[in-house]
Amino acid sequence: MERWKGRVALVTGASVGIGAAVARALVQQGMRVVGCARSVDKIEKLAAECQSAGYSGTLIPYKCDLSNEEEILSMFSAIKTLHKGVDVCINNAGLAHNEPLLSGKTEGWRNMIDVNVLALSICTREAYKSMKERNVDDGHIININSMGGHRMVPSADEHFYCATKYAVTALTEGIRQELREANTHIRATCISPGIVETEFAFRHHNSDPEKAASVYESMKCLKAEDIASAVTFVLSAPPHVQIGDVQMRPVEQVS
């Protein structure tokens, strides 16, 4: 991670869970991390904790609604002005709604597409532009995907969410191919966790907290820090090594 010290990473959805763990890990490694979310209170608290811990990097909170393209573009403009640009883009933000294919509400589907697919694509495009403008040829785009992007979960509540994650799998490979066509050494990686113990299930099953809790009680789940370790592993790979997809799940998870 030595070569990343002092360089700029954007982490979306950095207020809780995987995003917060990734932001902390990168700050610990000496990076300047822009952590964005719709609310920055928790990111500000995390930034203070990182400073108190004496980490060599810094965490910069930024308020951004990723379902709004104008806010994303404004964020990248601010990063360019204040920090020159993005060297590493961690597309972590994602959400799920209980909206089955045969009875779900269009609003929920659209929100999942806006955040899980479109925001990821917009951030990737803008991060690549930032790298090219500054002749950065060793940047990295890391998409936090899901095992749901590789197999369909047998639950109607998850089907549309899985479809958006299948899109992330396809998008990551498409990004990799376009980066090769552009003759750049910028890399694209997809990290696909299974069940991770975060606030995700409680948000997904917000009307049934007992169901959410049962998801995590059924096995020894992955921790957000496990995913953060995977991110630093990917970034630590030699510049000539392309890690395409990291699939990881709890030992006890069946599918």
Domain holding 213, by residue range, is 2-247
Query: Would you say residue 214 lies in a domain?
Result: yes
Tell whether the model's pLDDT for residue 213 goes beyond 80.
no
Mean pLDDT score of the chain, rounded to an integer? 95
Tell me the pLDDT band of 97, cut-offs 50, 70 and 90: very high
Tell whether the model's pLDDT for residue 19 goes beyond 90.
yes
Query: Would you say residue 178 lies in a domain?
Result: yes
Q: Convert 229-244 to b/e letters by CB count within 10 Å (16 or more is b).
A: ebbeebbeeeeeeebe
Write out the catalytic residue numbers: 161
Tell me the pLDDT band of 214, cut-offs 50, 70 and 90: confident
The CATH number assigned to the domain holding 124 equals 3.40.50.720
Query: Would you say residue 108 lies in a domain?
Result: yes
Predicted TM-score (pTM) of the model is 0.94
Higher-confidence position of 254 and 81:
81
Q: Which residues pair with 248 in a beta bridge?
A: 193
Query: Would you say residue 252 lies in a domain?
Result: no
State residue 243 phi and psi, 5-degree precision: -95, 115
pLDDT digits (tens, 9 = 90+) for 39-92: 999 999 999 999 999 999 999 999 999 999 999 999 999 999 999 999 999 999
Contact 100, 156 (CB under 8 A): yes
Tell whether the model's pLDDT for residue 212 goes beyond 90.
no
Query: Would you say residue 254 lies in a domain?
Result: no
Q: Where are the alpha helices (DSSP H) in the chain?
A: 17-28, 41-52, 69-83, 106-112, 120-133, 159-181, 200-204, 209-217, 224-236
Position 217 scores a pLDDT of: 83
Q: Which of 15-24, 98-107, 216-225 has the lowest mean pLDDT?
A: 216-225
Query: Would you say residue 253 lies in a domain?
Result: no
Position 204 scores a pLDDT of: 65
Position 201 scores a pLDDT of: 67
Position 160 scores a pLDDT of: 98
Tell whether the model's pLDDT for residue 255 goes beyond 80.
no
Query: Would you say residue 73 lies in a domain?
Result: yes
In total, how many domains does the chain have?
Answer: 1
- Tokens 């907290």 correspond to 209
Query: Would you say residue 10 lies in a domain?
Result: yes
- Tokens 């509400």 correspond to 105
Question: Which whole number is the average pLDDT over 201-212?
Answer: 68
Position 199 scores a pLDDT of: 76
Tell me the pLDDT band of 240, cut-offs 50, 70 and 90: very high
CA 169 to chain CA centroid, nearest Å: 13
Position 8 scores a pLDDT of: 98
pLDDT digits (tens, 9 = 90+) for 111-157: 999 999 999 999 999 999 999 999 999 999 999 999 999 999 899 99
